[in-house]
Copies of this chain bind each other. A is one copy, B any other.
């Protein structure tokens, strides 16, 4: 053991973070274990506790990178003129994000991790909401962008949560699910204006 590496890993925290997101993707949040992550990067099972206080902190860290990635993706979305198109674009992108890694998406919003205990997570969710607001404010004729952004977020989140949870697959055909985000967002946007 410890060949190729020496006693100290050098970048253990980061390696564990990668292993955590991989494991979550492969076996779900419940399938993830600190031991397994440690095994995967080749350290003892107690080494991770030098970098994370407990198991939940590792999941929270994985969730945090998820929120950062989500923010980036919205930031790099092309600007559209029409309000309805923008709403549909956001909801669709949100759904796409969730479906690419459903397990991590669930971890990001899991009730299990106490968001008041992980302030960085809370701040990052706030930044995502801000991004929604900024995007909407470019084409929304209303002073109340904050609650409107929350509405759109809720709507997009609902579609994504139900779709990744396998709750609509038996109600709508696969082709319709991708369209669900679009049509829900458009109806909402029409009603807002």
Q: A: which residues have CB within 8 A of B?
A: 28-30, 102-103, 106, 109-112, 115-116, 122, 125-126, 129, 146-147, 150-151, 153-159, 161-162, 164-168, 170-172, 176, 180, 183-184, 186-192
Contacts of A151 in B (CB 8 A): 180, 183-184, 187
Is the Cβ of A111 less than 8 Å from the Cβ of B122? no
Label chain A's interface by main secondary structure.
helix
19 A-B contact pairs sorted by A residue (CB < 8 Å): A28-B111, A30-B112, A103-B111, A106-B110, A110-B165, A111-B166, A115-B165, A115-B167, A147-B180, A147-B183, A150-B180, A151-B183, A153-B158, A154-B184, A155-B155, A155-B184, A157-B158, A161-B161, A186-B191
Known: A109-B167, A147-B176. 4 other contacts (CB 8 A): A115-B165, A115-B166, A115-B167, A186-B191
Is the Cβ of B115 less than 8 Å from the Cβ of A111? no
Query: How far apart are the CA atoms of A176 and B147 in the complex, in Å?
Result: 8
Query: How far apart are the CA atoms of A41 and B74 in the complex, in Å?
Result: 50
Identify A172's interface contact among B150, B161, B171, B176, CB under 8 A: B150
Contacts of A157 in B (CB 8 A): 158, 161-162
Contacts of A153 in B (CB 8 A): 158, 162, 168
Is the Cβ of B102 less than 8 Å from the Cβ of A165? no
Contacts of A28 in B (CB 8 A): 111-112
Interchain nearest-CB distance for A60 vs B (Å): 13
Interchain nearest-CB distance for A61 vs B (Å): 17
